[in-house]
Structure 1
Amino acid sequence: MLEDKIKNRTSGILLYGLTPPKLHADTSKIRAIASKQMERINGLEIDGMVLYDIQDESSRNDAPRPFPFMETLSPEVYSANYLKDLNLPKIIYKSVGKYSKEQLQDWINQNSKDIDFSVFVGTPSNKQKSSLSLNEAYAINLKANSSMTLGGVTIPERHYKKNDEHKRLFSKIDKGCHFFISQCVYNINNSKNFLSDYYYNSINNNRELLPIIFTLTPCGSIKTMEFMEWLGIDIPKWLKNDLKHSEDILAKSIDVCKSIAHELLDFCTGKNIPIGFNVESVSIRKAEIDASIELLKDIKAMMNKYETSAAPLR
């Protein structure tokens, strides 16, 4: 079970990520989308699913957004009203910056009995006005003595720029986080540099290592790649060139994702860092969604070849 794997700090967590439908879509259309998603996910050997709380990230990036931003259903509403027949743990993302302290407190009180796992997310940039900081949200959750198992976001690209992502994680652990889900990974060096500092800092400070769940996303078109870069995903120049000039960009990206997963498993297994994967599709194109499902199955088979439980360091 997902709760046991998180609690015991074991490797092998496998998740599938979904974005809820558009907020103003007809109820019948939302039900049809949910039905297709449940049909696609049912029977997959996964530990749970991630439901994102989408924000307008234009404040973080001055470049034009490749796809227009459209507000989506809140993940907890989509989960409760449309995915209730899907018998899987659901990790609910929650963008906390749009709430006041009182509003977030009310949200926790109203939802903690129904939501087992949540990941709090701050505003995309300090340029965007926020009513509540991420640290304030963590403090509210701790004070509420919530029964939700809280997770955090980790961004290897941020470690490349600021060299402090491992410190951020240990700070978030102190504030109540029990696991972390990364931004999509296409630059393996960023991830390994972050993991290395996370590992050695834990030894130097006698800290436990909590599960890191890396997100993998197929890329099926130049437009998708442009959108991924706009979101802040670092794709090395050589890899961009290979993808652009590939005869089948989707197949090439799947090979890259599997190679990244293999290298991360090797690196983490050797150091007993608990690792997992979250597979998603940032595109609504059927080919890319289908590819994400096949990638998930391949990752599952790959993880089965490794030890599914990493022993604690101490």
Structure 2
Amino acid sequence: MFLQKIKSRESGVMLYGITPPKAGTAPERVAEIAEKTIDRLSSLDIDALVVYDVQDESARTKEERPFPFINALDPLAFASEYMGRLEVPKIIYRPAGKFSPAELSDWLDELHSNKFYPIFVGVPAPDFPVKTNLAEAYKIWEKNEDTSVIGAVTIPERHQVLKDEDVRMLDKMDKGVSYFISQCVFDLDYARKVVEDLALSCSNKQIDPPTIIFTITACGSAKTLDFMEWLGIHIPDQLKEELKGDGDVLEKSVKVCLEIASELTEFCISQSIPFGFNIESVSIRKAEIEASVDMAHQISQMLKDKGLRKTVESLVEE
């Protein structure tokens, strides 16, 4: 189970990440989307489902957003009310700063009653008025630390600029965080550097490293590639040219993603860092969704071939 794997620092964790349907969607349509998602994921070998909290990050940059922002349903409500038939834990993202300590405490109680797990993220823009800072949010979560785990986000691109991602991660570990889910990885060197520096910092402090779960996502078009860059995901220039010049961007990106997953597997093993993968699917295009499911199958099988995973029973309640 996910909880035990994180607490025991077991490598080979597999997650699958989705966004809820857009806000205002009719309940019957939401139920239909959820059922299709469950059916699609029923054959996957995953330890938990990640449900993102969709935020408008337009204030973060002056660059024009390639796609218009569409607000989504509350991830906890969607997961608890519609995704119950998928019998895996749910990991719910939450921008802690948007809520008061009392609101956050109530939310954690509801989350815990569903046996879901939280990941606190920052607010969508630097000047957003913060009601509860991350340190306070982690303190509120402590009431559940014996029977839960809490995650956080790590951003290899930030480490490339500020060179302090390992310090940030150690600070969050001091506050109870035991695993990190990365931003989408398209630059292998950036991700390796985070792993390398974190391993060194943990060795110097003589502490066990946390689990790093790398987010892997396919890219189906040149416009999606532009959107990823707008979000702050670094795509090396040569790779960008190859993707945009390829006749089938999706097929090429899947090949790249699988190569990245294989390389990160070998590197994390060499650095003695517990790790896993989060296969992200936030597109509404059928081809991209199917590609994400196929990648999840292939990466899971790769981990099994290396002795890092065992086959699980059906994830869906009959």
Q: Does 1:213 align with 2:213?
A: yes
Q: How far is 1:28 from its partner?
A: 1.2
SS of the residue 2:60 aligns to: coil
What is residue 316 of structure 2 aligned with on the other side?
none
Q: How far is 1:106 from its partner?
A: 2.1
Q: Within 5 Å, give how 1:54-93 maps onto structure 2.
A: 54-93=54-93
SS of the residue 1:153 aligns to: strand
Q: Which segments of 5 or more consecutive residues in structure 2 lack a partner in the other structure? A: 310-318
Q: Percent identity?
A: 44
| 2:101/2:140 contact within 8 Å kept | yes
Q: How far is 1:134 from its partner?
A: 1.6
Q: Within 5 Å, give how 1:184-263 maps onto structure 2.
A: 184-263=184-263
| 1:182/1:213 contact within 8 Å kept | yes
Q: Distance in 2 between matches of 1:120 and 1:290?
A: 29
Q: Which segments of 5 or more consecutive residues in structure 1 lack a partner in the other structure? A: 310-314
Q: How far is 1:192 from its partner?
A: 0.6
SS of the residue 1:84 aligns to: coil
| 2:18/2:50 contact within 8 Å kept | yes
| 1:48/1:89 contact within 8 Å kept | yes
What is residue 312 of structure 2 aligned with on the other side?
none
Q: Distance in 2 between matches of 1:2 and 1:136?
A: 25
Q: Distance in 1 between matches of 2:124 and 2:146?
A: 25
Q: Distance in 1 between matches of 2:105 and 2:144?
A: 7
Distance 1:307 1:269, change over 3 A: farther
| 2:45/2:300 contact within 8 Å kept | yes
Q: Distance in 2 between matches of 1:62 and 1:127?
A: 14
Size of the aligned set, in residue pairs, is 309
Deviations 1:193-213 (A, max 9, x none): 111000011111101111100
SS of the residue 1:59 aligns to: helix
Q: Distance in 2 between matches of 1:273 and 1:87?
A: 28
SS of the residue 1:268 aligns to: helix
Deviations 1:92-120 (A, max 9, x none): 11111210122112222333221331111
Q: Distance in 1 between matches of 2:184 and 2:248?
A: 21
Q: How far is 1:251 from its partner?
A: 0.6
What is residue 312 of structure 1 aligned with on the other side?
none
Deviations 1:204-259 (A, max 9, x none): 11011111000000001011111111111110111110000011110100011011
SS of the residue 1:171 aligns to: helix
Q: Distance in 1 between matches of 2:167 and 2:51?
A: 26
Q: Distance in 2 between matches of 1:94 and 1:40?
A: 25
Q: What TM-score, normalized by structure 1, do the two folds share?
A: 0.95
| 2:180/2:212 contact within 8 Å kept | yes
What is residue 130 of structure 1 aligned with on the other side?
130
Q: How far is 1:143 from its partner?
A: 5.3
Q: What TM-score, normalized by structure 2, do the two folds share?
A: 0.94
What is residue 152 of structure 2 aligned with on the other side?
152
Q: CA RMSD in A?
A: 1.4
